[in-house]
Structure 1
Amino acid sequence: MSRSAALSSFIDSTPPGELADVTKAIKSILGDDSVQNELSPAFEKYNEDQLATVKLPGGSGEVVVSAHNALGDGRYYDVESQSSFAFDHATQKASGVQSYVLESNHSDLVKSLVKSLGTHASEHYPKASLGVYPIEDDSQIAIHTVANKYSPSNYWNGRWRSSYIYNPSSGSIAGTIKVDVHYYEDGNVRLITDKKVDLKVGGSANASEVVRQIANAEKKYQEDLNKAFGSLSEGAFKQLRRQLPVTRQKVEWDKISGYRLGQDIGGGRSR
């Protein structure tokens, strides 16, 4: 594997919200700040795959960066704000905002989908960004929702991504829901899971019906995840070890060498 390929693999596997940290670590290890230029293609692929979000200068909410709303030369567009912008993939900052008018035979449907999807997102996610874009020579519509929640001070970050391709002619909706959560306090635990979704609406379905089907699929997946976590907590995790020692006190792992396992931890008496 070449150096560029190896470095790109590090970027590709970066947990949500930690791109700047990983880039800083790579620079520190190599002792070379110029490596950032070498990583430019990896940054672009990562941001588009992860549906990176960015706040536009003067804007209130965050907009989505994806392969489906790319205009070329590092510029992207957003339907809701009717603007295009330049995006720096290394710093994840936006600039050069300009007015942008969507030209599509499905303009009305796209705008209706943005409105309906916005209502759904505000009801089910604490903070979410969304994007709806005509693709494939205006024959299909890409629908994205991304919800990030970062808490680096508590050593965890997470991202929900859902992406669908809607074909207005056939009424088919195909996509994937992805969840990526990283917890790294005194350890390194990461959950990466995805769910493929195939839905069907009538050929004349309106935006509300399309989003209703998407909302039902996402609700069911969230319920399935909650059940799976409950089963782990009550089953497999309990079988691994006690949640607390018999003394009901947390083990001070820094002092583990000084414990008399059968007595201090197990609660037994000294002989």
Structure 2
Amino acid sequence: MSSDDRIAKAASFLLHSPPGEVDDVFNDIRGIVNDDDALQAQIEPQFLVVEVPGQQSTVLLTPYNQVSESRYLDPNTGTVFTFDHLRPAGALQTHLDQYVANHYTNGSVSVFAHEGAVVSCIVSNKFSPGNFWNGSWRAVWSFNPAMAQLNGSAKVRVHYFEDGNVQLDTQSDFAGDIEAGRDVAKKVAKMIGQFEADFQQGINDGYRQLAERTFKGLRRTLPVTRNKIDWEKIANYKIGGELAHAEN
């Protein structure tokens, strides 16, 4: 079978995929075609309801408002916009780019279409070996459009090694339902931000508990005599004893 035949067959599969299962079919066949651009050219509008970029409006993608290969007209606002049938994760990428820029010093995020879900990976590393510490934050979030559910996990690892060896290695899992309707990508990004904020707050609370309870339990506040030790006086005694010993 020629390359053109494979593309035509793949496009046919996509156009006849069951409702809500286009992403699943696409992920199954894209490896066979191995040419997203050629496959994009074969896909015709499927009466999808999409949000118009920069407008408070939705529009149907049909053969009747298709301006060019991937550009469509919204007659309500007069807007011509580009829509990529093969990359529905683009809106979420835009929202998460802004979120990471606002909340991470050294952060990166990538969004992928994978097995019928939109998967977002967030990584932030900060290495400072000169100050005896290194740390990383890694999170993976998976949004299933068919189930309108977000699942994810976030993990933090920190190593502090000045005059010792202390490590933090903690992870938390999350799940939540996304309200259907408009601005779904924005809602997903917002929920990711809320989950990650809760995770960070939990870590902060844990550190406070260590300082206020656990570490204090490792030693007495006062010695057995119940009196504070005057370290300066002890130092003077020691210096005086050494001087007396030297004179003898």
TM-score with structure 1 setting the length: 0.50
Aligned-residue offset at 1:142:
0.9
Flag the structure with larger Rg. 2
Which residue does 1:214 correspond to in 2?
192
Contact 1:179 1:192 in 2 (8 A): yes
Q: In the alignment, is residue 228 of structure 1 matched against residue 206 of structure 2?
A: yes
Q: 1:239 to 1:206 in 2, by over 3 A?
A: same
Q: 1:227 to 1:140 in 2, by over 3 A?
A: same
Structure 2 Cα separation of the partners of residues 106 and 246 of structure 1: 72
Structure 2 Cα separation of the partners of residues 149 and 115 of structure 1: 24
Structure 1 Cα separation of the partners of residues 206 and 187 of structure 2: 29
Aligned-residue offset at 1:241:
3.0
Partner of residue 195 from structure 1, selected from 163, 169, 172: 172
Aligned-residue offset at 1:187:
1.5
> What are structure 1's unaligned runs of at least 5 residues?
1-71, 73-103, 250-261
Contact 1:180 1:191 in 2 (8 A): yes
String of CA shifts for 1:228-253, please: whole Å, max 9, x gaps: 1111111111221379x94579xxxx
Structure 1 segments of 4 or more deviating over 2 A? 202-205, 245-249
Matched position secondary structure for 2:215: helix
Aligned-residue offset at 1:217:
0.7
Count of residues in correspondence between the two structures = 151
Contact 2:157 2:167 in 1 (8 A): yes
Matched position secondary structure for 2:152: strand
String of CA shifts for 1:179-222, please: whole Å, max 9, x gaps: 00001112211100000010110344521110001101111111
Which residue does 2:96 correspond to in 1?
117
Structure 1 Cα separation of the partners of residues 195 and 211 of structure 2: 25
Q: In the alignment, is residue 175 of structure 1 matched against residue 152 of structure 2?
A: yes
Structure 2 Cα separation of the partners of residues 263 and 239 of structure 1: 26
Q: 1:164 to 1:130 in 2, by over 3 A?
A: same
Contact 1:170 1:203 in 2 (8 A): no
Aligned-residue offset at 1:105:
4.3
Structure 2 Cα separation of the partners of residues 119 and 219 of structure 1: 16
Q: CA RMSD in A?
A: 3.1
Residue type of the alignment partner of 1:111? G
Aligned-residue offset at 1:224:
1.4
Structure 1 Cα separation of the partners of residues 220 and 136 of structure 2: 30
TM-score with structure 2 setting the length: 0.54
1:239-250 correspondence runs (5 A):
239-241=217-219, 246=229
Which residue does 1:154 correspond to in 2?
131
Matched position secondary structure for 2:147: coil
Q: 1:106 to 1:241 in 2, by over 3 A?
A: farther
1:45-194 correspondence runs (5 A):
105=85, 107=87, 109-136=88-115, 139-194=116-171
Residue type of the alignment partner of 2:204? N
> What are structure 2's unaligned runs of at least 5 residues?
1-30, 32-83, 222-227, 242-248
String of CA shifts for 1:145-199, please: whole Å, max 9, x gaps: 1111110001100001111111011111111110000011122111000000101
Matched position secondary structure for 1:235: helix
Matched position secondary structure for 2:200: helix
